[in-house]
Structure 1
Amino acid sequence: MSIQTPGPQAGGGNGRINPLYFAVWRWHFYAGLYVIPFLCMLAVTGLVMLWISYGAGIGAERMTVPVGATPLAPSVLQEAAEAAVPGGRAVQYVAPLASDKVAAFAVATDAGKTGVALDPYTGAVVHSFPWRAGWYDLANDIHGSLLLGTLGDRLIEAAASLGLLLVATGLYLHWPRGTGWRAALVPSVARRGRALWKSLHGVVGLWVSVLLVLFLISGLSWAGIWGEKFVQAWSTFPAEKWDNVPLSDATHASMNHGAAKEVPWGLEQTPMPASGSLAGQAAIAGPVTLDSVAAFAQALGFDRRFQINLPGSDSGVWTISHDSMSNDGPDPAADRTLHIDRYTGNVLADVRYADYSAYAKAMAWGIAFHEGDLGLWNLVLNTAFCLSVVFLAVSGLVLWWKRRPAGASRLAAPPRPEVVPQARGVLLIGLLLSMAFPMLGLTLLAVLAFDLLVLTGLPPLRRALS
């Protein structure tokens, strides 16, 4: 196809059409066809989770109660919670977020887990609810896997990987070429029609590009291939640092509930320690109960909201944790996870933020930022960001619709240059991105194979997608 559409000129202002611009534009267009639905889904579900967490809370942790004189012992609250769920057994205790907030328990039965929120001063049951099965969790499941399990995870990982390509190509397309940075950073509201939409699309895209890359990379770090198999495996806390501590076959990820990520990213793949030895440092003298474990946590400085996971088997351990991944507090540097032998009361493991690898530390902050946990400014910024992402998707569709010939029976992709330029810099960037993000490389290879092996033999389909 010859180029009939005017476009950016080659350097030097000699009037020649720059074929690289059109080649990059085509990649931006085709990548957007796949990525736009996923970006809209991620932005909308992200907004839902952001405001549920800020308003009602993930569980019932933001419910208020009158402040009493002295809180009841956790074991008394545990009895009340188990009595509210016939045949149930408490498996997790969540300390109150503040003096006027509820305490909560996860109570397990054969039918699943029920959350029970209690007045910590009277033991009265304030609210019961399906544990990690509310609207927040539904949005979280869609956000992470489209409710399709591993298949959904792979589809989203491919979209997020292509999203990085979308950002790179978008920056190239909007980069100022002889017009100055004002036109790139400030929308030209005096324009009309497609020119106005193009200016708005480019300016908003440029402003949010850094944030979008941060969100994509922090999200990809949870994904099944680049995250789980590469960066998380390389950055996981090594259990070998614990001196002669027996290890369980289970990992820390076993403390997550379904798709909900509640364990610090850098610990998910680390094996859990096991009870039943004399290993560890002496900590709790006397019976090891919920009361003594909670008192020990408070003596260590765990204040306000922290969580205690009760032993789930004969070799299980007591786990005390406070981390931003569970929305326990706004400071990722305060992350701390302790494991206590259920028989001896010895501390088997004590992992703090300082013990994380460099990437795990970055993820602790990145995830807290991603979830809007760092304060009101973070909530406002993330809200504006999500709305901007939706606007980019909508404005991209508007640009395509306004450029598409009326009554066209084809996709009306950007025109293909007669000679595809062999720009070394572009090829190098594409190669490096493909090597760094395997799903991006696999997706690009699949597109090229589809073009060469399928479209070449089916001219009608090729015309429809052109």
Structure 2
Amino acid sequence: MTNNHETLAQQDKLPSQQRNGYMTAWRWHFYAGLYVVPFLIMLAVTGLMMLYAGTIDNLRFKDLLFVEPAAQSLPVSQQLNAVQLAYPQATIHQYLTPKQPEDAARFAVVTADGQGLFVTVNPYTAEVLGSLDRDNNLYTLANEIHGTLLIGDLGDRLIELAASFAVILIVSGAYMWWPRDNASRAGALRIRLASGKRTFWRDLHANIGVITSLFLLLFLLSGLSWSGIWGSKMVQAWNSFPAGVFGDVPLSDAKHAEMNHGELEEVPWNLEQTPMPMSGSHAGHQGIAGQVNLESVVSFARQQGFTSFRVNLPEGEQGAYSVLQSTMSNDINDATQDRTLHIDQYTGKILADIRYDQYSPMAKVMAWGIALHEGDFGWWNKAANTVLCLAFIVISLSGIAMWWLRRPKGKRVLSAPPAPKNMTLWKGATVVIAILGVCFPLAGITIFIVLLADRLIFSRVPTLARFFG
């Protein structure tokens, strides 16, 4: 989005078809960017907040999260009893194993007034160290803004629309950047510092955009896979784990997604819409011999090869013990070791044993993609995501700077790029946008409404026509 006159002068040197193609892409890029930029900045900022929330908590609450390692940890049942004594009115829902010898064990509880807490315990002494607010913390706040803008389904739809439009930005931006003459080649993968403000901002915007475009697309698609329309109604629904694989195990009305905590996604993506197996029948195959409780479930899970994992305690009379180990919830950093195990709370039989090898191709991609998205693969992943988030902010701000520099002084107009003279080509580009709209339905519906409004209203009202260009 360089200066209008400068851009038009450059494009006049191109063949007519290329010039009109550039102007068409620029116009779509501009209008999509109007909506996307505020959301992209928000997503990058909240992404950074979530990326470092754990590091900040480790510094703030180190006395609650870390202990002095000893030779032998005490039985989990003894740690559980300590939590029950310290919080007699609370309901314990989950146990999280320590990842490192110096980590405290965690128990997720809900108090009598409905507050979610993480109670930390020294696994070597069974001393209750204290509690952390699970519902109100930096990560939870950033995650809820990141996913719903704190306004529920409406926020989810607005963000899904922005992410869908961002795909249009990537496609149109790549087309505009592609070197096609001497002027565009001069700025390809190069930032010209001595050619004026407009050229500097154009080079910064275009080159960082192209370099990070594939990474941005990964972020967008992995995020969209959880969205309310494109995600849950299309992609996730077609890639959910088939409950029929469980055999003759009875299924409840509850879905795996109910094991998530609010907006915090803990259950593997492809399992969220899959029904939960029920306890209380003779179904399943050989599992725990003897008494079934948290102690025996944790011991059995370790025998089965689980390393760093969480155990969800049964919910109600038909609930099962659920052992989960996944990259998405940051339990492990190797997606091929993703595994979910359900155990009958009465018989100890294995009701379901779901492994990475059984995932659909899309689910396998998501197991890796989501973990990369969240920076779960270690320091290098966190560093890369930090650079990318900062780059997305720079791309957004440079786009605003380019618009500001080329806007007509003293005129209240949007200063959109002019429509191409060759309307045949414009219609061809509309077909491309329509295809993207079909792939991303929320964007497609919005584009149709905007085009209809332009034809019926904006083009017939002179003031609006001048403002929107």
Q: Which whole-Å CA distance do the structure 2 matches of 1:158 and 1:351 have between them?
A: 33
2:285 pairs with one of 276, 281, 286: 281
Confirm whether residue 347 of structure 1 aligns to residue 350 of structure 2: yes
SS of corresponding position for 1:326:
coil
1:117 corresponds to which residue? 120
Instruction: Rate the CA distance shift 1:335–1:239 in 2: closer, same or farther, 3 A.
Output: same
Give the length in aligned residue pairs.
462
- 2:49 is matched with which residue? 48
Q: Secondary structure at the match of 1:422?
A: helix
In 1: Cα distance, 2:137 partner to 2:111 partner: 18
Q: Distance in 1 between matches of 2:251 and 2:16?
A: 69
Residues 157-208 of structure 1: CA deviation (Å, up to 9, x unaligned): 0000000001111111111112376731122233221111111111111101
Offset, 1:14: 5.5
Q: How has the CA–CA distance of structure 1 residues 55 and 214 changed in structure 2, closer, same or farther, with 3 Å as cutoff? A: same
Give the SS at the match of 1:363.
helix
Deviation of 1:100 after TM superposition, in Å, equals 1.0
1:218 aligns with 2:218: no
What is aligned with 1:450? 453
Moved more, 195-204 or 424-433: 424-433
- The 1:59/1:165 distance shift into structure 2, 3 A limit, reads farther
Alignment-derived partner of residue 272 in structure 1: 276
Contact 1:90 1:106 in 2 (8 A): yes
* Aligned mate of 1:183, from 177, 182, 187: 187
| Contact 1:19–1:421 under 8 Å retained in 2 | no
How far is 1:21 from its partner?
A: 1.6
TM-score, normalisation: structure 1: 0.94
Q: CA deviation at 1:232?
A: 0.3
In structure 2, relative to structure 1, the CA distance for the partners of 1:425 and 1:14 (3 Å cut) is closer
Shift of residue 463, structure 1, vs aligned partner: 1.7
* Cα gap change, 1:58 to 1:328, in 2 (>3 Å): farther
Q: Superposition pairs for residues 244-263 of structure 1, below 5 Å?
A: 244-263=248-267
Q: CA deviation at 1:95?
A: 0.5
Assess if the C-alpha contact under 8 Å between 1:317 and 1:342 holds in 2: yes
Match of 1:413 among 396, 411, 416: 416
Q: Which residue of 2 aligns with 1:100?
A: 102
Distance in 2 between the 1:334 and 1:16 partners?
A: 52
* 1:215 CA drift (Å): 0.7
Matches within 5 A, 1:348-427: 348-422=351-425, 426-427=429-430
Which of 109, 131, 135 is the matching residue for 1:128? 131
Q: Distance in 1 between matches of 2:276 and 2:256?
A: 6
Residue 78 of structure 1 is matched in structure 2 by: 80
Are residues 1:322 and 2:320 paired? no
The unaligned stretches of length 5 or more in structure 2 are: none
Q: Which amino acid in the other structure matches residue 277 of structure 2? A: P
Distance 2:77 2:213 in 1: 50
Q: Secondary structure at the match of 1:36?
A: helix
Shift of 1:75: 1.3
Residue range with higher mean Cα deviation, 58-67 or 340-349: 58-67
**In the alignment, what sits opposite 1:293?**
297
**Residues 59 and 308 of structure 1: is their aligned pair in 2 closer, same or farther, counting only changes over 3 Å?**
farther
Q: Which amino acid aligns with 1:239?
A: A
| Cα displacement string for residues 86-116 of structure 1 (whole angstroms, at most 9, x for unaligned residues) | 4012110001011110000011233222210
Question: What's the offset of the Cα at 1:52?
Answer: 1.5
Equivalent pair of 2:24/2:426 in contact (CA under 8 Å): no
* Identity in percent: 46
Letter in 2 for 1:191: S
When residues 250 and 57 of structure 1 are mapped into structure 2, their CA distance, relative to the original with a 3 A threshold, is: farther
Which segment drifts farther, 413-422 or 355-364? Answer: 413-422
Q: Is the 8 A contact 1:337 1:350 kept in 2?
A: yes
Trace 1:201-240 onto structure 2 (pairs within 5 A).
201-240=205-244
- Structure 2 Cα separation of the partners of residues 165 and 142 of structure 1: 23
Greater shift, 188-197 or 99-108, is seen at: 188-197
Kindly indicate whether the alpha-carbon contact (under 8 Å) linking 2:20 and 2:425 is maintained by their aligned counterparts in 1.
no
Residues 24 and 429, structure 2, Cα contact 8 Å, conserved in 1: no
Aligned amino acid, residue 154 of structure 1: R
Q: For 1:18, give the aligned amino acid.
A: R
The letter of the residue matching 2:20 is P
Are residue 37 (structure 1) and residue 55 (structure 2) matched? Answer: no
CA distance in 1, matches of 2:415, 2:467: 8
| Contact in 2 for aligned 1:25/1:414 (Cα 8 Å) | yes
The structural deviation recorded for 1:423 is 6.0
SS at match of 1:208: helix
CA distance in 1, matches of 2:32, 2:75: 57
1:243 aligns with 2:247: yes
- TM (norm. structure 2) is 0.94
Letter in 1 for 2:28: W
Q: Distance in 2 between matches of 1:14 and 1:96?
A: 65
Distance 2:399 2:61 in 1: 40
